[in-house]
Amino acid sequence: PDMNTNAQTMSWILDQYGRKYGHTTSIVTGKPVALGGSHGREAATGRGCVHVMDEALEDLEIPRDGASVAIQGFGNVGSWAARLAADAGYKVIAVSDVRGGIHAPQGLDLPEVVSHSRETGSVVDAPGTEPISNEDLLELECDVLMPAALGEVLTSANADRVRARIVVEAANHPTTPVADEILADKGVLVVPDILANAGGVTVSYFEWVQNNQEIAWDEADVNSRLEHRMRTAYQECRQFMATHDEARTMREGAFALAVNRVVEAAQLRGYL
């Protein structure tokens, strides 16, 4: 499921396909567990973001405990990333949604923020927090900035004012090409969307595998497999960059590594 859809939407797709062509559980992923969905799917994208954030901090030799994180977006991805990051020892200092944001330099009380958001429909005015705009959140001084809302929020107009050391792209295409260059010149490590937010589609793949094999993994198994995939993908990207100087950024490294794999497969099949 992507923006403005959820497991219920996937259930309707499953039902309509089944009415016309016969029941096929694997035709759609992100289903409720009761209809063949995978445990761990709801939190998967946010969980994957936290795993690559761990790897990025290790790369820059930043201790995880107490590392500050600002997250723009508090939907499925952002809210799960915030909760899981806090559970892992990060200090989540700001989050926001479409109505605005909240900031607490000492770290947000995430259970309180989640409860407030559920009751009011927004994180705005959560107890013990200060208001902050979505725009100002992007420019907060922090160890990690995680855009988890809309695309193209980091642009040529604000990239030079980003004070995070790491940007983890939980949203799709949150950074414009010009902003990407500016951040690279500033020495900001950007973990690109095709890597950072791949946790969701990875567990969707796991769901497809489980459906086709007619088995069900428990949540601990799913989470363990996801962590292995995400951390391995990050490390392989960094290793590729270490041997390919032309890959200046992680985005370039990730795309080049992916293209090389497609080329290798095409060559093995005799297409090239």
User: What is the DSSP pairing of strand 130-132 with strand 144-147?
Assistant: unpaired
Q: 2 pLDDT band (50/70/90 cuts)? A: confident
Is 66 domain-assigned?
A: yes
Residue 182 belongs to a domain with what CATH number?
Answer: 3.40.50.720
What whole-number distance in Å separates Cα of residue 105 and Cα of residue 93?
A: 5
Is 100 domain-assigned?
A: yes
User: What is the DSSP pairing of strand 130-132 with strand 91-97?
Assistant: unpaired
Is 226 domain-assigned?
A: no
pLDDT number for residue 3: 83
pLDDT number for residue 221: 99
Is 155 domain-assigned?
A: yes
Domain count, the chain: 1
Residue 255 has pLDDT above 90, yes or no: yes
Residue 204 has pLDDT above 90, yes or no: yes
72 Ramachandran zone, left/alpha/beta (phi>0; psi -120 to 50): beta
Average pLDDT (108-124) is 98
Is 112 domain-assigned?
A: yes
Is 224 domain-assigned?
A: no
Residue 188 has pLDDT above 90, yes or no: yes
Residue 81 has pLDDT above 90, yes or no: yes
What whole-number distance in Å separates Cα of residue 142 and Cα of residue 91?
A: 10
Structure tokens at 42: 């709801």
Is 82 domain-assigned?
A: yes
Is 210 domain-assigned?
A: no
What whole-number distance in Å separates Cα of residue 160 and Cα of residue 74?
A: 24
Q: What burial letters (b/e) apply to 76-115, b meaning 16+ CB within 10 Å?
A: bbbbbbbbbbbeeebbbbbbbbeeebbbbeeebbbeebbe
Residue 177 domain boundaries? 44-196
pLDDT number for residue 4: 87
* pLDDT digit string, tens, across residues 216-230: 999 999 999 999 999
Average pLDDT (8-35) is 97
pLDDT number for residue 201: 98
